[in-house]
Structure 1
Amino acid sequence: MTDITSIDATGSVSGGLRTVLRLEGLTLLAGMTLLYAFRGGPWWLYAVLFLSPDLSFVAYLAGPKIGACAYNAVHSTIIPLGLLTVGFGFAPPLVVSLALIWLAHIGFDRALGYGLKYSAGFGFTHLGRLGRGATKV
């Protein structure tokens, strides 16, 4: 019997749970993109900002610990979900659009297997190892 909750030797999720987390990312991408479409946000803004969270990669120039911290700050759902919550109630529509695009990007990354980073280096994520030396589970 396969254990859906297995963790590999690097502390990364593996097996069926990894698949569930990647599907969750795909669902986040699809859901936020649909919400953006239903709200009538401009697609040029979506196209321009969709990959902007990846500018956090620049922080890796200061080392893997700082890079991982910056990447995780921008690729966690905490801030954009907060923006979305505030945006629906109190902020201009642009705030909601920014939050939806940001969450769609996070979903896209997770669906591709780019998880939150460990300070050991860019390739070490909670969804498994990336690049050379990665094993597919």
Structure 2
Amino acid sequence: MSNRIIVKWEYILLLLLTVVAYITWEFSILAFVIFLFLPDVFMFGYLLNKKVGAILYNIGHTFIFPLLILGIYFVIKEPILLMVSLIWSAHISMDRALGYGLKYEEGFKVTHIQKI
């Protein structure tokens, strides 16, 4: 099995785990569906240029921010933070499972996972 297949399955499993956690905490499925694609607004940076687009896209598509939000949730126990973290993580996992990785300045189709 190739490394690309292994990585794809890792992200598929992470997506399933985030969805199961989301459902387990009994958050709104409607909210999940509505906000699942919200991180894609970071793509609008590409309207300015490739460099800004890559920077903004990567901000919205790195696990750093959902994990920071999750950490804050564990400190202050505000359920909406857990909900946001799970939806955001699900989005990133879904994108990565589909082969969309963090972007390089060369263009939208050049990612850390593959050249699309």
Count the aligned residue pairs. 116
- Letter of the 2:100 counterpart: Y
CA deviation digits over 1:62-97, x for unaligned, max 9?
111110111111100011011112113314101100
Equivalent residue number for residue 76 of structure 2? 90
| Aligned with 1:34 (options 2, 5, 20) | 20
CA–CA distance in 2 between the matches of 1:119 and 1:102? Answer: 23
Percent identity between the aligned chains?
35
1:7 is matched with which residue? none
- Tell me the equivalent position of 1:63: 49
Report which of the two has the higher share of helix. 2
**Long gaps (5+) in structure 1:** 5-15, 131-137
**Matching residue's letter, 1:55:** V
Q: TM-score, normalised by structure 1?
A: 0.81
Q: Report runs of 4+ in structure 1 exceeding 4 Å deviation.
A: none
Superposed CA RMSD in Å reads: 1.2
Partner of 1:126: 112
What is the distance in 1 between the residues matched to 2:77 and 2:51? 34
Matched, 1:103 2:86: no
User: Which residue number corresponds to residue 78 of structure 1?
Assistant: 64
AA partner of residue 75 (structure 1): H
SS at 2:104 equivalent: coil
Deviation at 1:18, TM superposition (A): 1.8
Larger Rg: 1
CA distance in 2 between counterparts of 1:79 and 1:91 reads 17
